[in-house]
Structure formats: structure tokens, C-alpha cells
Amino acid sequence: MVGVDYSAWDVQNGELRRRFDYQDSKTKRYIATIHLVCKIERGTSEPLTFLAFTFSPFRVVDGLDLGLSLAPLDGGRHAPVGVNVTSVEDGQGALMSPRTPQGLRLLLSHLLSGRQLKFGIFQGPEQLVDMPFYNDSEFAQLHQAQVAVLKTKASVFLAKITGVIPQGMNLPAPPVEMREFDNITTAKQWLLGEALTNLPTPVNNIEVFENGQSVWREWHSSHDALISKNELWWDAKDPGRKEREAADKERRCNIESGLIPHSQLSLKEQFEKANPRWLGPYFAWLPTSTLDAGTIWMTQYWVRASLGLKYKNKGWFPDND
């Protein structure tokens, strides 16, 4: 006969732990120990439960193909589920956790039943371990309480701002800063205020996650504050850029209108004039399919010269590099 001594449940930070020590009822000789750990964590919609069993002494190699079973003590049949196996305790024990969600649900259902169980380890059809496993309604009560705590906890909002690596700056990665908040309003305020101001480079995007799931995002070209941030950054980095851009735009217009003679054009400008990126504009007298606006009618469109693709707007590609 095998006797078992079990500890009280240790409940900390969403973890339920219990130790089972087995001994021979007659000789009182130690036989084995089982540690059960049940961890409840926040999921995207519902709390998630994880189970792990450590059985010792039991020598295994990592990845050994074993099955673990919990079955009712009063006549229940073992139904082993595949487990991930890791050697622990200096090779004297085996840490086993269900390999699949279905296996996890089966083992958890037996624990939540409150019935007395038997613990089994299998290798193929051969049963290697068969031990009584004390169980009662206390586990179900504690598990339910931990799940309720996670469900009633306030959501956590993670605000994240991501920069870029500007040309000429030697950075190993784009700068990223994150901070947690208890509501989405303060998360947005921080992103659009302090975080945006202190970002050392132009901004690529800002985003808010609720319990790990994205709930709000703005890109560098989709929000006025981000557009303004990047404009001010580049103005400080290159004060004369707008004047150069305006002069370049005026020169392109003069080239297109023929005000600048061909002999005064650079080789690049001569090539671009002879090989325009866009053909048109054309007028869609009949329904016409475009890549950027779908089917259009009674409006103008452009054709990408190199590919023959039609666009309602030329903003997809610049006229020149």
C-alpha cells in the first residue's frame, strides 16, 4: 500500500502549488514526490490556465515521448495525454506539461471535478507509474477565485512610440519607448505629448495595446501631430531643405513647360524628360479600372509609363527621384 502526505495549497501571483509525498504504508519508506503547479494568466479574451507536474525520482531525457494521465480513482480508465518532458533536479526528476490544448483541458477537467484521482505515466502502451492522487473541491474553488481576480482587474494599456533611422545617423535600431497606463486616454496623451517631443528622431508610428492587443495606431503620415514632429525635426536638421525643394519644383515645372533649353539640362534631367514616369492625363469616358481608386468614370487618370498600370492619382510614385 502507498500512503500520501500532501501540503496545503500555496497561492501566489496567480499560481497554485501543492506537493505530494508518497511512502510505503508499512515500512514508511519514501517512494516518490509529485509537485503540481497550476498557473493562471491573462489572455486576450479569457484567462488562460497552464499545468505542470514534476515527478521524482524519475530519470528521463529531454523530449522523451511520454503520456500523463489523471483518472477517477473509483474505476476511471486512464486516458494519457502527450506531454512535453524536461529533465530537472539534476537528472533526478521529470517536468511534464500538456503538449496540446486538448490535453490540458482534459487534465484540468479532472482536477476541477473534485474527485479523488490516480496519477499515471505511460510510455506507449506501457504504464510506468500508477499512484493515488489526492484531490478535492478546494482546487476548483481556488482556481475559480484566481480566474475571477484576472477578469475583474483593470485593463493595462501599453503605449508605444517607434522612430526611424534617418539617413546619416548611425543607429543600430530605430528608437522605441513604451509605458503602461490604466486607461487609453492618458496613453494617447503621453504618446502625442511627452513621448513625441522627446523622441530623438522622426517618428514612424505610435500605438496603444490593451492587454497585448492593438487598439489604436497612427502613422507618420496619418496624424497632424506626427507630421508636424517630422517637419520640425527635418527643419532643424537641414534648415535650407524647403528652399531647395521649392527651387527644384520650380525647375521641374520650367523643364516641363520648355522654358529651359535642352542644352542647359543635366544628363539626368534629359533622361527624365525623354522617359517620363507618367503618361497622360487621360479622361475616363468609359468605366476604367485603376489600381488606387478602383473603377472610375468621367474623371482623369494617369498611366505608369514603365508598367502600363492606371492610377487616378500620381501620389503613389514621385515624378522623379
| The pLDDT value given to residue 316 | 65
Q: How confident is the model at residue 102 (pLDDT cuts 50, 70, 90)?
A: very high
State which of 189, 209, 237 marks the end of a domain.
237
Say if residue 26 is in the same domain as residue 127.
yes
Which residue has better confidence, 247 or 34?
34
The last residue of a domain, from among 207, 237, 267: 237
Choosing from 237, 261, 285, the residue where a domain stops is 237
Query: In this structure, are 111 and 13 located in the same domain?
Result: yes
Q: Say if 207 falls within a structural domain.
A: yes
Highest mean pLDDT (candidates 73-77, 208-212, 221-225)? 221-225
On average, the pLDDT of the chain sits at: 89
* 225 belongs to a structural domain: yes
Q: Does position 75 have pLDDT exceeding 80, yes or no?
A: no
Q: How many domains does the chain have?
A: 3
Same domain, yes or no, for 103 and 173? no
Report the pLDDT averaged over residues 164-192: 91
Q: Is residue 255 part of a domain?
A: no
Q: Say what the pLDDT of residue 321 is.
A: 46
pLDDT at residue 105 in the model:
94
Judged against a pLDDT cut of 90, whether residue 242 lies above it is answered with no
**Poorest-pLDDT segment among 144-148, 183-187, 243-247:** 243-247
Q: Is residue 247 part of a domain?
A: no
Residue 109 inside a domain? The answer is yes
Confidence of residue 182 (pLDDT cuts 50, 70, 90): confident
Distance CA 165, CA 175 (A): 8
Q: What's the average model confidence in pLDDT over 293-299?
A: 91
- 244 inside domain: no
- Would you say the C-alpha torsion 192, 197, 200, 203 has a positive or negative sign? positive
pLDDT digits (tens, 9 = 90+) for 118-134: 999 999 999 999 999 99
pLDDT confidence bin for 91, thresholds 50/70/90:
very high
pLDDT, position 65: 94
Please tell me the predicted confidence (pLDDT) of residue 154: 64
Q: What is the mean pLDDT of residues 235-246?
A: 86
Q: What is the pLDDT of residues 130-148, one digit of tens each?
A: 999 999 999 999 999 998 8
Range with the poorest average pLDDT among 83-92, 147-156, 284-293: 147-156
Range of the domain at 86: 2-152
**229 and 317 in one domain?**
no
| pTM score | 0.51
What would the mean pLDDT of 12-40 be, rounded to a whole number? 92
pLDDT, position 155: 74
Examine residue 264 and state whether it is found in any structural domain, yes or no: no
Q: Which long-range contacts (CB under 8 A, 24 or more apart) does 288-297 make?
A: 291/316, 292/316
Task: Please tell me whether residues 15 and 147 are part of one structural domain.
Answer: yes
